[in-house]
Amino acid sequence: MIFEIIKAVLLAGFPIALISYYLITLTSKKTQLKSTNAKQLKEELKTIEIKHDMQEPFWQSMLQKKFIKFGGGFYGILTLITYLHIEIYQLIRFVGNFSGFEGMFESGILRFIIGLVIEAVMNLVTAFMWPVYWSEFLPIGSLWVWLIVAIAAHTLATRYALSKNLNNSR
């Protein structure tokens, strides 16, 4: 059981905490979030609209938009992480299996583009079912241990990121 907890902390807890903290602080810097707890954050994110700033990297703007779109809560963060993992994993597989442009477009460019759109939608559906997806990639022994570690990591990271707002509101 101790080994299972250590695996969960290293493979799920730390990454979830780091990504949660990063997304909240990044969004807070850009929008001056005033939330002091997770419930307020969820409500505040519903009212925010982020426009792409040409001074910041495209990937930061994209991450913020997705973070806000998915709601910023635990389920939203895990869905976002899963979606990014699926897309990056497929991109690596695509590059590794790349056989040339003629093979890519042999069925036609339109069919290729439609296939990409359908695949992106299927990846989003898969991302919403993240517990099933991650059980294929991680050595999960006890789903409950991993779930509790993931929730605790997200909660602690959110509280820490929002604690600056709490200190400023006093």
Which tokens is 67 given? Answer: 């973070």
- Whether the pLDDT of residue 81 is over 60: the answer is yes
Write down the pTM of the prediction.
0.76
Which tokens is 158 given? Answer: 């959110």
Share of the chain above pLDDT 90, in %: 28
pLDDT tens per residue, range 82-138: 998 998 988 888 777 776 666 666 667 777 788 888 998 999 999 999 888 888 878
pLDDT at 52: 62
- Whether the pLDDT of residue 167 is over 90: the answer is no
CA pseudo-torsion sign 23, 29, 33, 37: positive
Task: Report how far residue 156's alpha carbon sits from residue 18's, in angstroms, rounded to the nearest whole number.
Answer: 10
pLDDT tens per residue, range 41-53: 777 777 777 666 6
pLDDT at 151: 94
pLDDT at 154: 93
Share of the chain above pLDDT 70, in %: 88
What is the overall mean pLDDT for the chain?
82
Which tokens is 55 given? Answer: 């001074």
pLDDT band at 16 (very low <50, low <70, confident <90, very high): very high
Q: Which of 83, 81, 79, 75 is nearest to 155 (CA)?
A: 75
Q: Where are the domains of the chain?
A: 2-169
